[in-house]
Amino acid sequence: MEKALDVTRGLTLVFTGNGKGKTTAALGMALRAWGQGMKVLILQFIKGGWKYGELKAAEKLGPRFVMQQMGEGFIKGSNDEGLELHRTAAQKALKEAQQVILEGAADMVVLDEINYAVHYGLVDKRDVLDIIRSKPPHLHLVLTGRNVSDEVAEMADLVTEMREVKHPFVAGIPAQKGIEF
């Protein structure tokens, strides 16, 4: 195992599927990288608008763990009236991501819910493919969100599908502090 430490190759990881754990897996990756002294940037493409435990955690973790909420909240479907607002927010997140990645200002960049943003046409798939293709070799890139496109999955080094087997909301349990937010 130790020898591998010398080989630095930034990976592109995808967490997709309809199950829970995509964003949390990305957060765990970010925490692990942060623990290794890396600089982490997490950009949210969809969620936003209320206080998450992770936002409070990010504050406490300090300047090497930056989390930016760019999204305008949940999309209600492709007929969502606020779709244009979502698009503006997602485009802003994309620009931020492109800039940080280009500058090499982070060791790991998490594009949270970007797959979902592509799926809804808020972000052009070609822009995402460009980011993967042109990222600095050392950079770890983590893309989350359901409905990852085939081309993005094809370019990624690792793809995990989170499959929902059982969900508490189905059983009528409300969102819980420390779990859902």
Residues at the contact surface with a copy of itself, assessed by CB under 8 A? 1, 3-5, 7-11, 13-17, 19-38, 50, 52-58, 60-61, 107-108, 140, 153, 156-168, 171, 173-179, 181
Nearest to 29 by CA among 137, 136, 109: 109
- Structural element, H or E, at residue 97: helix 83-103
- CB of residue 64 to a copy of itself, shortest distance in Å: 10
Q: Is 77 or 174 the residue whose CB approaches a copy of itself more closely?
A: 174
Which residues make Cβ contacts (< 8 Å) with residue 69, sequence separation at least 6? 44, 47, 48, 49, 55
Q: Is 30 or 128 the residue whose CB approaches a copy of itself more closely?
A: 30
Q: Is 33 or 131 the residue whose CB approaches a copy of itself more closely?
A: 33
Residues forming a β-bridge with 142: 13, 110
Q: Is 50 or 77 the residue whose CB approaches a copy of itself more closely?
A: 50
d(CA 117, CA 43): 12
**Residue that is written with structure tokens 């209320």 in the block:** 50
- CB of residue 68 to a copy of itself, shortest distance in Å: 16
- CB of residue 137 to a copy of itself, shortest distance in Å: 12
Q: Is 20 or 87 the residue whose CB approaches a copy of itself more closely?
A: 20
- CB of residue 29 to a copy of itself, shortest distance in Å: 5
d(CA 75, CA 173): 22
- CB of residue 124 to a copy of itself, shortest distance in Å: 23
Q: Contact, 164 vs 20, CB < 8 A?
A: yes
